[in-house]
Amino acid sequence: MNHPNPMTDIKKATIWSLWRSGSPMSEIAQEINKPPATVFSYLEYHGGMQPRQRYRSIYVLSLSEREEISRSLASGSSIRSIADYLGRSPSTISREIQKNGGITRYRAINADKAAWKQAKRPKSPMLPENKKLKQVIEGLHNHCSNSH
- pLDDT for 142: 78
Average pLDDT value for the chain: 89
Q: Tell me: pLDDT of 135 over 90.
A: no
Shared domain for 116 and 70, answered yes or no, is: yes
Q: Alpha-carbon distance 92 to 115, whole Å?
A: 13
- pLDDT for 42: 93
Shared domain for 3 and 47, answered yes or no, is: yes
Torsion of CA 118, 122, 126, 129, to 10 degrees: -100
Shared domain for 77 and 107, answered yes or no, is: yes
Shared domain for 67 and 99, answered yes or no, is: yes
Q: Alpha-carbon distance 91 to 126, whole Å?
A: 27
In the chain, % of residues over pLDDT 90: 63
129 within some domain: no
Q: Where are the alpha helices (DSSP H) in 33-78?
A: 36-45, 63-74
- Of 20, 35, 53, the position where a domain reaches its end is 53
Shared domain for 72 and 114, answered yes or no, is: yes
Shared domain for 42 and 71, answered yes or no, is: no
- pLDDT for 2: 67
- pLDDT for 148: 59
**Domain containing 23: what range?**
1-53
| Number of structural domains the chain divides into | 2
- pLDDT for 119: 82
138 within some domain: no
pLDDT digits (tens, 9 = 90+) for 52-107: 887 888 899 999 999 999 999 999 999 999 999 999 999 999 999 999 999 999 99
In the chain, % of residues over pLDDT 70: 93
131 within some domain: no
- pLDDT for 1: 58
- pLDDT for 137: 82
Q: Alpha-carbon distance 128 to 109, whole Å?
A: 36
147 within some domain: no
Shared domain for 77 and 96, answered yes or no, is: yes
Amino acid in position 139: G
Q: Tell me: pLDDT of 120 over 80.
A: no
